[in-house]
Structures are given as structure tokens and as C-alpha cells.
Amino acid sequence: MQPVNTSLYWKVCLINGAVLCTAVVVLLLSPARVSRQVVVSEALVLVAGLGLVLLVTAVLLRRALAPVDEVIREMATVQLGGEGRQLEAAGDGPGAQLVRSYSAMLERLETERRSSSARALAAQEAERDRVARELHDQVGQSLTVVLLGLKQLEDRAPADLCGELSLLRESARAGLDDVRRVARELRPGVLEDLGLQAALSALANDVAAYGGPAVRRTFGPGLPELGHDAEVVIYRVAQEALTNVVRHAGASRVELSLLRFGPDVVLEVGDDGGGIRPGTPDGTGIRGMRDRAALVGGTVEVVSGDRGTMVRLRVPA
């Protein structure tokens, strides 16, 4: 037979009732008496008895309710999407049970959050692959046909139309290049074919080729073999960091490095741009980087000042 768990409310009532009853019995059995005209000694006895009752009550209730107050304080400070501090409580009282239930709830919520993020990011990668294939197979093929048709039409057209047709053909070629670039960004085939370092180099070259600042690359020796998921996370974080540099930083110099520090592989993307203003909340891109890193047990740190911004990703090797 399992013990019956009395609610916290009734425990408080029983504790207060027991203390007050004990105090009354002590006062009744003591030699002190309350006369019609209260003397100083009787008043002192009553005050001392009341103080004793309040002290004992405060001590007992503190032991019972202190864990509850700790849980309330922790619930007020825990952040959405962040891990709460694990609380500890000894004993089998209602306060200790509440603390253990709260810790178990945090663990379930964190597990579900990571699982949901993993499913969402996996679906996002699958959608990227689908869109990239459609761009390459359908839009790219259609633009290739348009290019060939314009070339044949230009060869047979009158001389006064050749210039306009040539401009149209160059515009179609530029559109085809853009489609291929977007497809490559959505689905980095070089990552699967040549590996992470080659993919990061291609990403850095694309930034400079399309009007961004020059990216200096550093790859440390002895980098370990990483799983596919970890390589995708590193590539996507670098891609998002470089995209933010091009869009917002106004930088003239960017450094990208992939090194090993102890048990971790560390990716750093730093620039000399304007930095992030203090107090600015994290945007969708930074939150996305942190969610991706959490899937492989990594962390993302963003350090910004007057001399630029540094995005640092740590992934266990």
C-alpha cells in the first residue's frame, strides 16, 4: 500500500494547528494564570508564549516551503528555449517532491525541444535539397534551352537585331548563373563530394565573387573526421555568419578558421565591421545557428565590439 500524499495546504494547516494546540496545553499546565487584571508577569508569559509559537511555526514552515520558494524563483528566471538550473532537494516532503517534479519537467521539455528542433532542421534540409534539385533540373534546363534558342536566333537574325539578342542572351546567362549559385547554396554538393574544407573554401570564394569582402581562410592541421551531421552544421553556421557579414557588417576584411582545440573542433568567422549594438536581441539567424549547434552537442558564441564581430562554433570532435 502506497502512502497517501497530503496536499501542501493541509500540511501547513496541520502544522499550525499542532503548534497552537501544544502552546495552549503548555500554558494551561504551567503555573502561570491569567487574572481579571493582567499583571506584568502574566503579560510577559503570554508574549513569550506567542513568540515561541511564531518561532517554531516559522522554523517548521521554512523547512516545508523553502523548496517551493526556490522553484518559484527559478521559474521566474528560466528563459524560453534555454535550459533551467537543476535544483536539488533532500527528503520526501512535498517541497522536495515539487523540486524533483520541476527538474523532471525541465528535462522532458529540453528533450522535446531538441527533438522538435532536430525534426524541423531535418525537414528544412530536405526542403532545401528538393528546391535545389528543381532549380537545377527544371529552371536551369529551361534557361539553357532559352540560351541555345537565342544563340540560334542571333545567328539568323538581321544585323540590327543582333545587339539586342546578344543582350538578352547575356541576361539569360546571368540568370542561369544565379540559379546555379542559389542551388549550390541550398544543396552544397561540394560538401558531399570533396569534404568540409573544400566546401568552406568554395563558400568563401562565393562571398568575394559576388561583391563581398575578401575572406581569409585558415584550416588547422590534424582536423578529425566528423560525421555528416556535424559537417552540415559547421557549413550552415559558416554560411549564415558570412551572409550576416555581407548584409549587415559593412566589413572590409573577414577571417574564417577551422581549428582543433582539445576535444573540440572550433569554427570562427570574424570581421572588422561595425559590430552589433549592445542590447540588441538575437535575430533569427543567430538563434538558428544555436539550434543547429545544439543538435550535435555544440555551442555558438557571438562576441561583438567596436572592432567587429566574432562568431565562434564549438563542436565535439
How are beta strands 264-271 and 308-316 bridged, if at all? antiparallel
Structural domains in the chain (count): 2
**Residue 1: its pLDDT value, please?**
38
136 or 316, which is more confident?
316
Contact criterion met (CB below 8 Å) for 223 and 260: yes
pLDDT single digits (tens) 110-169: 777 777 767 777 777 778 778 877 877 777 788 888 888 878 787 777 877 777 878 888
DSSP for residue 79:
P
Of 49, 79, 109, which residue sits at a domain end? 79
The answer as to whether 100 is a domain residue is no
88 domain residue, yes or no? no
Number of neighbouring beta carbons within 10 Å of residue 281: 6
- In this prediction, residue 3 has a pLDDT band, given cuts at 50, 70 and 90, of very low
106-111: long-range contacts (C-beta < 8 A, 24 or more apart)?
Answer: 106/78, 110/83
Please tell me which residue, 177 or 39, carries the higher pLDDT value. Answer: 177
pLDDT in tens, 21-44: 777 667 656 665 555 555 566 657
48 or 264, higher pLDDT: 264
- Model confidence at 15: pLDDT above 60: yes
Region 72-84: what's the mean pLDDT?
60
In whole angstroms, give the CA distance from residue 11 to residue 137.
71
Could you tell me the CATH number of the domain that includes residue 194?
3.30.565.10
Can you read off the three cell numbers belonging to residue 24? 495552549
Note whether residue 60 is domain-resident: yes
The range of the structural domain enclosing residue 269 comes to 188-317
User: Which pLDDT score is estimated for 249?
Assistant: 67
Specify the pLDDT at position 149: 83
Pseudo-torsion of CA 222, 226, 232, 233, nearest 10°? -80
117 within some domain: no
Q: Does 144 reside within a domain? A: no
Q: Does residue 248 fall inside a structural domain?
A: yes
Residue 1 lies in a domain: no
Residue 48 lies in a domain: yes
Q: Are residues 69 and 192 in the same domain?
A: no
Segment 249-269, tens digit of pLDDT: 677 788 888 998 888 889 988
Domain boundary among 79, 99, 129: 79
Highest mean pLDDT among 24-38, 180-194, 296-310: 296-310
Distance CA 267, CA 264 (A): 10
Quick one: 193 and 311 in the same domain? yes
* H/E element, 218: strand 214-219
Q: What are the helix (H) ranges across the chain?
A: 8-29, 40-77, 94-134, 140-156, 159-186, 189-194, 196-209, 228-244, 284-295
Of 42, 61, 79, which closes a domain? 79
Which is more confidently placed, 43 or 274?
274
Please count the CA atoms within 13 angstroms of the CA of 76 that sit on its side-chain side. 6
**Of residues 282, 231, 241, the one with CA closest to residue 125:** 231
Residue-averaged pLDDT of the chain: 75
pLDDT of residue 19: 77
